[in-house]
Amino acid sequence: MRGRETYLIFNMIEIHKLNGQVALINDERINLIESKPDTFITFDNGDTLFIKESLSDIKEKIMSYKKEIFTK
């Protein structure tokens, strides 16, 4: 179980829900990110989550996270 816990934490980016709560999401489970005008994420299981960050903020977080992983 130790390896699974590490995996779950390792593949997470921090986002802010519309109510101000901070959450960690697995960027590899994201299927779609839309902004209409609120930004929401659709996951591969069909769940959606409305967030405070803009589409470009999420893109930057994911790219920064991936860059950090692949340069180690």
- Give the CATH number, domain containing residue 57: 2.30.29
Using pLDDT thresholds of 50, 70 and 90, give the confidence band for residue 58.
very high
Closest CA to 13 of 3, 1, 23, 2: 23
Supply the pLDDT for residue 49. Answer: 97
Q: pLDDT, tens digit, for every residue of 14-29? A: 999 999 999 999 999 9
How far, rounded to the nearest angstrom, does the alpha carbon of residue 44 sit from its chain's CA centroid? 12
For residue 36, give its domain range. Answer: 2-70
Range with the lowest mean pLDDT among 7-11, 19-23, 50-54? 7-11
Domain count, the chain: 1
What pLDDT score does 13 carry?
A: 92
For 43, the token pair is 């996951």
